[in-house]
Amino acid sequence: MQKRGQLQLSFGMIFSIILIIVTVAVAFYIITRFLDTGECLKIQLFYDDLEKEVDNVWRSPLAEKIFRSGLSGKVESVCFGSPQLLSISNYSNEQRVLQRYSEFDYNVFMYPTLRACDSNLGFHKLEHASIPKSFCVKTKEGEVSLRLIKERSSDNLVTLKP
């Protein structure tokens, strides 16, 4: 007759193990939410920096400036102008996804919008800007670059170009 080994854990030990698992899970959740908040902050800072630079160019008599800014790694490209006017041959995915926002008065769009903080920051209305031809700028290593131009002092708006 063989004897079997018996493992006995007290209630306190089982409760401690469960408590450790719950603590690690909550810590993981909080860290994930904190990192997501950082991504949202990058998008908001992008909009703020762009608005500030457009206003600076708008106030000056003549200017041409390259705007560069860091952006969330979740955003693949930033589109400017009306989504309906995006070239289907160059920006077919962006045009298809962003078309639903055409009825609103926005002129800056993150693609894909769902990755831009659950689409809360997926679009923005940029003041004092003229976008004669809608375009998208792909993010390169988390950075976006575009030209801000005011060619004449009589121009009322700043022209944005890729």
- Sequence-distant (6+) residues with CB within 8 A of 4 are none
Give the pLDDT confidence score for residue 99 in this predicted structure. 77
What residue numbers bound the domain in which 66 lies? 11-161
Report d(CA 160, CA 109) in Å as an integer: 14
Residue 132 lies in a domain: yes
Per-residue pLDDT of the chain (162 residues; tens, 9 = 90+): 566 655 667 888 888 999 999 999 999 998 887 776 777 888 889 999 999 999 999 999 999 999 999 887 778 889 998 888 887 777 777 877 787 777 778 889 888 876 667 657 888 899 999 898 889 999 888 899 999 999 988 888 999 998
**Residue 3 belongs to some domain of the structure:** no
Secondary structure, 3-state, the chain:
CCCCCCCCCCHHHHHHHHHHHHHHHHHHHHHHHHHHHHHHHHHHHHHHHHHHHHHHHHHCCCEEEEEEEECCCCCCEEEECCHHHCCHHHHHHHHHHHHHHCCCCCCEEEECHHHCCCCCCCEECCCCEECCCCEEEECECCEEEEEEEECCCCCCCEEEEC
How many separate domains does the chain show? 1
Q: Which two tokens stand for residue 49?
A: 């920096």
Q: Whose CA is closest to 109, among 97, 100, 119, 122?
A: 122
**Separation CA 115–CA 138 (nearest Å):** 15
Domain assignment present for residue 5? The answer is: no
> What is the C-alpha to C-alpha distance for residues 158 and 130, in angstroms, rounded to an integer?
6
Return the pLDDT at 7.
63
